[in-house]
Amino acid sequence: MIDPFGRSVSYLRVSVTDRCDLRCVYCMAEDMSFLPKSDVLSLEELERLVAAFVRKGVRRIRLTGGEPLVRRNIMTLITNIGALVQAGAMDELTLTTNGTQLAKYADGLAQAGIRRINVSLDTLDPEKFAMVTRWGKLDQVVDGIMAAKQAGLAIKINTVALKGVNDHEYDHLVEWCGTHGFDLCLIETMPMGEVHSDRMEQYLPLSQIRHGLAQHWTLTETDYRTGGPARYMMVAETGRRIGFITPMTHNFCESCNRVRVTCTGTLYMCLGQEDAVDLRGPLRASEGDDVLERAIDDAIAKKPKGHDFIIERGAVPAVGRHMSVTGG
């Protein structure tokens, strides 16, 4: 699949549910209303959708949410997509999770052929963790992360940089990740969805954090890419990588290779734009996949050039939907 700007689309993010067992302050409002079940694609429909994208040339898939591991029977979908990797039809299946269910699922994920996962963890302080997630228990997540490590999964910790919350913790996080053999990726907050707090209060530019880290760690540029927007550096002292995702200060759209589909089958061609195409209608229109595949082609032909996120005091969110709709 080649979009109008010559970019090859080979990466699909699939949000398998809009629900979550946490309510991170920058991601969701406390009183989120979730979708009625009938709007959400069944696991069988999600699998058909994924298979169509794989036939179209998608080589890598990341499952996300909401929290993917709270969707009932999710291991069935994971095992079936994993089988596509094992058959050589695609290169990789990965997962982004908040880690709360990892103790239960880590072995199953490894058996399904998942090799690496991203776990979101913004702080190593139990009180701050409970505050950021509105009720999460840090121990549960750390136990899950250790279970995943034990199961042989490579782990990348995703940390959203939050002013007044984790700004004194980056050195500790670099050290903790180094000790356990995890990569770390810092993310700037993006203005997505109303969350009842002022994002200007939370926003921290990563250039500032990188400067601070460079006082204590030897950071060297690498050309390592995972196909995502992160720019990576090596931390000489730990031998691990640290990534920086800076949508607000660096435009990464020119190398964008991805599209995102929600759990209702809406395809977003860009994280930062409203342009979307419904694939649930075509999916449910017939048992064959011709209509669906045509709808996918039409959508890719409309992929926008890039996003235009701006964070300003009092500004309305750049896109109205929450991050949990498309899963980041």
Our finding on whether 118 is near ligand SF4 (CB under 6 A) is no
Q: How far is the CB of 155 from ligand SAM (least distance, A)?
A: 12
Residue 324 and residue 314: Cα distance in Å, rounded? 22
- Only one of the segments 59-67, 79-87, 143-151, 311-319 lies at the binding site for ligand SF4 (rule: CB under 6 A); that segment is 59-67
Pick one of ligand SAM, ligand SF4, none as the site partner of residue 257 (Cβ within 5 to 8 A by kind): none
Judged by CB, which is closer to ligand SF4: 20, or 206? Answer: 20
Q: Of 158, 210, 163, which is closest to residue 187 (Cα–Cα)?
A: 158
Our finding on whether 98 is near ligand SF4 (CB under 6 A) is yes
Pick one of ligand SAM, ligand SF4, none as the site partner of residue 64 (Cβ within 5 to 8 A by kind): ligand SAM
- Which residues lie below 8 Å from residue 191, measured CB to CB, with a gap of 6+? 199, 309, 310, 311, 315, 317, 318, 319
Residue 326 and residue 328: Cα distance in Å, rounded? 6
Our finding on whether 67 is near ligand SF4 (CB under 6 A) is yes
Q: Do strands 11-15 and 258-261 pair parallel, antiparallel, or not at all (unpaired)?
A: parallel
Judged by CB, which is closer to ligand SAM: 138, or 192? Answer: 192
Our finding on whether 69 is near ligand SF4 (CB under 6 A) is no
Running DSSP on this structure, what letter comes out for residue 275? -
Q: Which of 14, 16, 20, 43 binds ligand SAM (CB under 6 A)?
A: 20
Our finding on whether 102 is near ligand SAM (CB under 6 A) is no
Pick one of ligand SAM, ligand SF4, none as the site partner of residue 23 (Cβ within 5 to 8 A by kind): ligand SF4
Q: Which residues on neighbouring strands pair with residue 13, listed in sequence order?
A: 62, 260
Q: How far is the CB of 285 from ligand SF4 (least distance, A)?
A: 30
Our finding on whether 282 is near ligand SAM (CB under 6 A) is no
Q: Do strands 154-160 and 258-261 pair parallel, antiparallel, or not at all (unpaired)?
A: unpaired
- The angle formed by the CA atoms of residues 133, 64 and 261, to the nearest 5 degrees, is 130
Residue 181 and residue 175: Cα distance in Å, rounded? 10
Q: How far is the CB of 310 from ligand SAM (least distance, A)?
A: 14
CA distances from 225 to 26, 159, 209, 271, 327 (A): 26, 18, 21, 19, 20
CA distances from 62 to 29, 115, 136, 144, 237 (A): 24, 12, 24, 19, 30
Start-to-end CA span in the chain (Å): 21
Q: How far is the CB of 246 from ligand SF4 (least distance, A)?
A: 18
Q: How far is the CB of 61 from ligand SF4 (least distance, A)?
A: 18
Our finding on whether 188 is near ligand SF4 (CB under 6 A) is no
- Written as one string, the DSSP assignment of 209-253 is HHHHHTTTS-EEE-----SSS-EEEEETTTTEEEEEE-TTTS--G
Judged by CB, which is closer to ligand SAM: 13, or 240? Answer: 13
- Contact positions toward ligand SAM, by CB under 6 A? 20, 26-27, 64-65, 67, 96-98, 120, 158, 160, 187, 189-190, 192, 323-324, 327-328
- Contacts with ligand SF4 by CB under 6 A lie at 20, 22-24, 27-28, 65-67, 98, 120, 324
